[in-house]
Amino acid sequence: MTRTEHMLAFGEVHTALLRNSRPLSGHSAAELLDLTSGETVRRSQRPISRAISADRWEGVDCRMPSSRGGHPRGVGTLGWHAIVTGGHVTQCSTHAGLVAAESTRRRPWSHYLATPGRIELIGKYRPDEIADGLLRDGTDPAVLDLGAITTRGLDAVQRDGRLDQLAPLNAPGTALRWVAYLGAETLTGRFTLESERFRTLRLTVPGQDLPAVVRLGEDLALHDWLLTTLTAIVDAALTGGHSRAEQLRRLRPAFEHLAHLWMPGAQVDEELMPVWDALDRRAGFSRQWAATVTRVRDHLLLAATPDWA
């Protein structure tokens, strides 16, 4: 990569239901995310309760993924933080920017620590091949394992002794991995459901605001998880040959714990909203969510009628 080309950034967001039977208050969520001594947990209440831990930095010195081999060496730091939204949902979000090293020699750690969240690439490489390699699922012990770092961060929250480990729903987690070309001429986004639990997002973004891209990825990952979880619960409840009482028992917790969390774009910067809107329109996130919530609400209303059961 030369200095005239776009900067490539990447990250991953894991989203899961918090392992606690009741939603956390804003204060309790902030205490849970106090992961770094002396650093402040950011909190907000509008339009939804949200707490974010201070960034932590993970040093890496490894080969980077590439779609065509020839993995360049990556040395630097990768940032991650944890989030609790609405007292119910937790995320771990990792990110880093990639730059070409000015020397083929590895520098002392003090050099890399001076610019946290940046990984320098030593050796020849093509940005497109790095981007394609980063978006591949699976584990290759020879290259950077972004999923393992993100999982470790999420586990640090989920295993906290202040949680009772009694999640109110059976809701498997999801992973969204993204790459972004910063400084591009146009704003574009392509979201792909790679598997039942793994998604990818490829972005081109004018400007160099990496934190804004990170927030976009987190907001998209949250709403993809909400939609995935709610539709899975509704499908299982209504298509499994269950009695109406059993359907009601399965549907009610999903509606009570998830329905109020749907606020697409609430954490997305204004300049990146067009790409969120385009993804939402193309994939039909909001339309499917509204249809599913209406379906659940209709069943709950029917259950309240005397002759329904």
For 235-262, write each residue's pLDDT tens digit. Answer: 888 887 777 788 888 888 888 889 899 9
Q: Examine residue 215 and state whether it is found in any structural domain, yes or no.
A: no
Task: Let me know whether 187 and 234 are in one domain.
Answer: no
Answer whether residue 232 is part of any domain.
Answer: yes
Do 202 and 234 fall into the same domain? no
Report pLDDT for 162.
95
Report the C-alpha gap between 25 and 29 in whole angstroms. 6
Within the chain, residue ranges assigned H as helices are 26-32, 109-113, 127-134, 146-158, 210-239, 244-258, 273-283, 285-303
Residue 217 lies inside a defined structural domain of this protein: no
At 1, the pLDDT band (50, 70, 90 cuts) reads very low
Structural domain includes residue 214: no
Residue 306's pLDDT band, with cuts at 50, 70 and 90, is: low
> Considering the domain boundaries, does residue 298 fall inside one?
yes
- 247 and 198, same domain (yes or no): no
Give the model's pLDDT for residue 2. Answer: 45
Name the token pair of 26: 């804003």
Name residue, tokens 């000015």: 102
Peptide bond into 206 cis (omega under 30): no
Res 308 pLDDT > 60:
no
Domain count, the chain: 2
Domain boundary among 209, 235, 261: 209
Instruction: Give domain status of residue 130, yes or no.
Output: yes
**222 belongs to a structural domain:** no
Whether residue 269 is found in the same domain as residue 203: no
131-153 tens-digit pLDDT:
999 998 776 778 999 999 999 99
- Predicted local confidence at residue 304, as pLDDT: 65
Query: Which of 181, 209, 237 is the last residue before a domain boundary?
Result: 209
Q: What is the pTM of this model?
A: 0.93
How far is it, in rounded angstroms, from Cα 160 to Cα 82? 13
pLDDT tens digits for 67-85?
887 789 999 999 999 999 9
pLDDT at res. 3: 44
Domain housing 104: 7-209
Interval 155-172 mean pLDDT: 94
**Together in a domain, 174 and 236:** no
Q: Do 165 and 267 lie in a common domain?
A: no
